[in-house]
Structure 1
Amino acid sequence: MEENSWFNNRHLKILTILTMAAMLVFGIYKYETKKVTISIDDNKKMTVKTLKGTVGEVLKKENIQVEEGSYIEPKLDTKIKDGDKIIIKKPKTYKIKLGKRVTEMQSTENVVKDILKDLDIKLDEKDYTKPDMNKKVKPEGQIEIVKVVEKIDVVKNDIPFENIVKNNNKLEKGKSNIVQEGKKGVKEIKIKKVFENGNLISEDVISEEVVSAPVSKVVEKGVKEIEKPKTIQVASRGSTPSRRNRSTPRSTASTKNGNINYKKAFNVVATAYDLSFASCGKNPGEPGYGITASGTRVRPGVVSVDPRVIPLGTRLYVESLDGTRDYGFAVAEDTGGAIKGNRIDLFFPSSSAAKAFGRRQVRVYILK
């Protein structure tokens, strides 16, 4: 009986010790085990229980390979605690387009703004992307960067002046007097131009300002009637008037276009001009193009004169002295910087006609 009792007591002690040891091991295991969540590229997530101590050991235990250039948070040598999250973002290739150039670059991000930040690509305030900054992009996808530049251009345009003609009853008819010279004004125009990747996409006028106003040209036109000159016999072309009549102006003359009545006649040097840039110094569309000093539109029959010799508005007849066709009836409506004294400039509708006329002596009749 005593022997059985001793055996039972010893067996009970051994069982108790084993139980306590198991409980101790279980407690230590339970205490050391940690629950960790692993997220890979936001599309794969797993939760594991581990006894491992660092991030790197956990990933190795779970056979998770980390590619070079991957983003890992926390770092591989960080100690793990229960409830920790391990985030892994693998590098992905994207096509970055700027203008016509496309470059392949790698980033661990997948949202446009995060990809550009990761690649240290900075945009100016007005720049934008396709797709926009908050969109996700798939691997091998393209991000186009559009560089926007705004430029303000300032253009100055001439404002043509107005020609004002006033009648003066104290000035003889056929004469004129410039009271005030005209002066062109200046308008300043600001134009905003918008460029995208160097290409002009819009052009808008944002302001117009008159820097200086034009000054009108004022011309007095004589309307006073004058006594008509006496009529005398006209000598034929080439003959010399008698000494008695040399100081008296002739009244009529026979021309290729018939008889004319005139007040005065004299010989001058005649040249020719047209509307080409080489002749008038202006191009179509520019202020004052094709407009005479009198404010009329230039046309065949318009003659440029020195107003001190032939007043503007004077009706003329221009006779050829070399046997060629007369220029004929005309009006003194224009002036020119080179037309001084006994010189006139005849308008022709084409450059070829003006060149053909060249420079020659003509006789000018001041008509009644």
Structure 2
Amino acid sequence: MTKYLVMQKKNMATLLRRHTSLLLLLLAVVFMTISGFAWNEKSVTILADGQAQIVRTHLNSAEGILHDAGITLGPKDAVLLNTQTLQNGTQLTVLRAFPVKVTIDGVAKDVMTVQTTAQGLADELGYHAPNYVPLGDSNQHLQAGSEVAIAHVTGRSVKTYEQPVEVQVIRQRDDSMHIGEQEVIQEGTPGLVSVEEEILYQDGKGIKKQIISQNDIKRMVPTIIKEGSRDVVETSRGVVRYREVLTMEASAYLPGDGDGRGITATGMVARRGVVAVDPNVIPLGTRLYIPGYGMAIAADTGGAIRGHKIDLLMESYGEAMEFGRRSVEVYVLQ
């Protein structure tokens, strides 16, 4: 009897150990599953219909993620990933298909596509080069309502010809020169290229030309022009901006010249800083700066002041005589 009880205790201990091992194994599997599930969670950005949203997901398919986000894909819609596989930080972009009218060998039909070029649409529809070609620009940008014609190529020929290359003009900004000033620092010469062109035919009728290659016979030399970009000038009142510089013939006059009243054509009192101009060249009221004279305002006119002539009002006869007549730069201020 005692021996029987000992055996029973041993069997129960063995069974308990087995059950414990099984339970531990089950708990380990559950733990690993939960851990793996949590480890697989990722943040994905969805761009669709002009909106962006960030979702956290354990799914590994774009379709499943979009479905959970409430985004429905049409039969011709497409999804782009910015990574090779779905991972944390992946961006999903939904491309919505749009309608395009396509004509193939004269037969028109409407299709839905996400392709952005005529060649891309032709390839998507199975009309591949060299047997088929989009007419016009193969890289034509497509949008809703675009029309694309695709033709069957039944023949082709190649011709070579020479073509002149027009001189390119390169303009360089130079802040050491006034705005409006220019200096040609290199005279250009035309170039010449040899062009190899392919002509495509459909039933003997030319339908498209496309350049195969171009080789220089004579390189084009560009014309290079320096253009002034400096728009500030240093004055006794500091740095001021100007919009143009005029070279003008300057003379001097006194407040009592003319009718002797000392009043300008605009009603201002004649004093230093007032200058007479041709209003067709410099509108009255324009602020000016003249090196060697200073800041001024165009507020007077004169019978002899026509075109690029300017009369500067001086304070004394001696100053006017000393100034005489000379060429000056006139800065038209902003």
Shared fold (TM-score greater than 0.5)?
no
The normalised TM-score by structure 1 is: 0.30
